[in-house]
Amino acid sequence: MYIKKDMELKLEKGRAKIAKALKDNNNFTLMSTGITGDDARLAKAVTDAGVKILEPNHPALALARGYKGVTEMGEAEKLRHEITIAQMAEVTRGVRSVVPDDVFITVGFPGSFTELMPVIVTDEDFRTISLAGADSIHTHKSDLMDIEEWVKTAHRFGLNVDAYIGKSTDLHQFGVPADSPEEVAKVAKRLEEIGVDFIGLMTGMSYEGVAAGEIPNEIKERLQALVETVKVPTLAEGGINLENFSAFKSTGVNIVTVGTAMDDMARMAVAEAARKFMSI
């Protein structure tokens, strides 16, 4: 299998897509996930609107398919490891085929998260996702040694890696735990050293007692520790919606991920359209 140079070129092409997306949007842009990452029609809709970064992932696919009757993301997270690589590759191929080539696609698939049940991922799985059209692996692994191995393998198959920092008290482990800003900086630096291409912070945002449009000081301090420590592009994910999206601009983070809020807006729009038809 003589594809070393081909995969190196693919890797660099992916990085160039992110660089251009940030340059064109004053170093701050949106990554759209959830239903807009897994449904090709909606992926095309958001990219037609200017979105340049998409994230298909396996919990969102479980929810989209109503897998074993799941109807909300919390339930889907418990079953996400049962979605297959083949299913995620099919979704990725479909999305890639309808969006412009300059759209960056990062894919979460079984085993790329810290799963409730261990999932063994092979070189062939990386190759499959890469050839399906992914530019990156979206990983929520929670161990630095695991992530280091993922980076080596992903890069070998032309895939960037975006990895995340969470907290030890998070309900689900969605990243390497770091509880204080100092720990965030330390973990972020290590992620950069082992070759992670884009580093994100899971906000753990809860809106009980949080005013609309505000970001709790603790999260601001954690984001500040991240963006001041690394040179690679940074991300924020978790509980981000229209009311607080603009507040993240002042944090220095480069990419903000929106999933559930977009899903809710799409669901309400479809429900309202149906009501209008039913009322005629």
Cβ-contact 30, 51 below 8 angstroms: yes
The three-point CA angle 96-98-103 to 5° equals: 55
pLDDT by position in tens, the chain (length 280): 568 899 999 999 999 999 999 999 999 999 999 999 999 999 999 999 999 999 999 999 999 999 999 999 889 999 999 999 999 999 999 999 999 999 999 999 999 999 999 999 999 999 999 999 999 999 999 999 999 999 999 999 999 999 999 999 887 789 999 999 999 999 999 999 999 999 999 997 644 445 556 788 999 999 999 999 999 999 999 989 999 999 999 999 999 999 999 999 999 999 999 999 999 9
Task: Supply the CATH number for residue 211's domain.
Answer: 3.20.20.70
Q: What is the pLDDT of residue 210?
A: 52
Distances (CA, A) of 129 to 64, 229, 233, 264, 270: 20, 31, 22, 28, 31
Nearest in space to 54 (alpha carbons), one of 40, 69, 74, 75: 40
Alpha helices, H only, 99-194: 123-131, 144-156, 181-193
Nearest in space to 54 (alpha carbons), one of 122, 138, 115, 126: 138
pLDDT tens for each residue of 109-138? 999 999 999 999 999 999 999 999 999 999
Q: What is the pLDDT of residue 2?
A: 67
Cβ-contact 205, 245 below 8 angstroms: no
Q: What is the pLDDT of residue 209?
A: 44
Q: What is the pLDDT of residue 259?
A: 93
Q: How many domains does the chain have?
A: 1
pTM of the predicted protein model = 0.95
The pair of structure tokens assigned to 200 is: 């994100």
d(C-alpha 166, C-alpha 266), whole Å:
28
Please report which helix (H) or strand (E) contains residue 19, including its range: helix 4-24
Range of the domain at 76: 3-279
